[in-house]
Structure 1
Amino acid sequence: MPHFLRALAATLTVAATPVLAAGLEDEPRITEGLITVGIAYEIAEVCPTIGPRRIRGLRYLLALKSAASDLGYSDAEIETFIDDDAAKDRLEVIARERLAGLGASRGDVAAHCRVGVAEVANDTQVGRLLNPN
């Protein structure tokens, strides 16, 4: 999952003055949403028969940004969090651990495809971000 949050950063870039956003990484709605995106991204990247639902994914990321704003975080705080490499790395590790817990260890293409198909069939949030070809 080569920096799955880069897509988020590109999508949500705003002109902002950097400030500390230590609290945003402690917001479960936001971090769980980003972990979900990371899992879906990894499945779509590894499995050749499953792609991302780009528009749905974009809407989901924008909803996360809106949720962060609703929680009282400024655009500058959101931007700082998006650009935080340590936060990206931490969420990426969690996403990969959860994916492995679902049966898809890193580099196992068939397992990623199985998990992706199951997520779509079960209509999970991860599955809703995927498009089986």
Structure 2
Amino acid sequence: MKRLTPMALILTIAASTAWAKPLLREVSEIDDQIFWGVLAYEISEQCDSIDARSMKAVGDLWSLANKARSLGYSRDEIKTYIRSDEEKARMRKRGEAFLASKGVTYETPETFCTFGHAEIERNSAIGAYLRAK
């Protein structure tokens, strides 16, 4: 087996690091969009006067998967990210913190409706996935 010189070893490590992909959770243009959709779904589940725009969410999810593929992620990497219990728990924790920062609590269910209707009105990233019944 051929030994690498110290310089060759450094260049090999640098090259492999430069080409390494970040985890999908670290790709904000994908992770954030999924986060907004997850929040919208939770709002629709907690508020009877709001529905989720499921077809839009599914279409956007396909677009995000295609975006991830164009960034070099395999179908298996994408599936693992989407189905991961760890990622779901992370999203839940992030979502609960975000909603709490907006005054939305499970103890006061009507806060989901108030927040959801305001997001629909603003046509925000969350509101785009919601519609009033």
Q: Which runs of 4+ in 1 moved over 6 A?
A: none
The CA RMSD over aligned residues, in Å, is: 1.5
State the match for 1:37 in structure 2: 37
Equivalent residue runs for 1:1-133 within 5 Å: 23-133=23-133
The Cα of 1:115 is off from its aligned counterpart by 0.3
Q: Equivalents in 1 of 2:129, 2:39: separation in Å?
A: 10
The Cα of 1:22 is off from its aligned counterpart by 6.6
Alignment gaps of 5+ in structure 1: 1-20
Alignment gaps of 5+ in structure 2: 1-20
Q: Secondary structure at the residue paired with 1:125?
A: coil
Q: Equivalents in 1 of 2:112, 2:124: separation in Å?
A: 15
Q: 1:84 to 1:73 in 2, by over 3 A?
A: same
Q: Secondary structure at the residue paired with 2:69?
A: helix
Q: Equivalents in 1 of 2:81, 2:25: separation in Å?
A: 7
Q: Equivalents in 2 of 1:105, 1:71: separation in Å?
A: 37
Q: Secondary structure at the residue paired with 2:131?
A: strand
Q: Equivalents in 2 of 1:61, 1:132: separation in Å?
A: 22
The Cα of 1:122 is off from its aligned counterpart by 0.5
State the match for 2:8 in structure 1: none
The Cα of 1:83 is off from its aligned counterpart by 2.1
User: When the two structures are aligned, how many residues end up with a matched partner?
Assistant: 113
Instruction: Write the deviation string for residues 71-106 of structure 1: whole angstroms up to 9, x where unpaired.
Output: 110111111112211111001110121112122112
Instruction: Write the deviation string for residues 10-32 of structure 1: whole angstroms up to 9, x where unpaired.
Output: xxxxxxxxxxx971121111211
TM-score normalised to structure 2 length:
0.79
Determine if contact 1:49/1:113 at 8 Å carries over to the other structure: yes
Determine if contact 1:120/1:130 at 8 Å carries over to the other structure: yes
Q: Equivalents in 1 of 2:128, 2:102: separation in Å?
A: 16
TM-score normalised to structure 1 length:
0.79
Determine if contact 1:37/1:126 at 8 Å carries over to the other structure: yes
User: Greater helix share, 1 or 2?
Assistant: 2
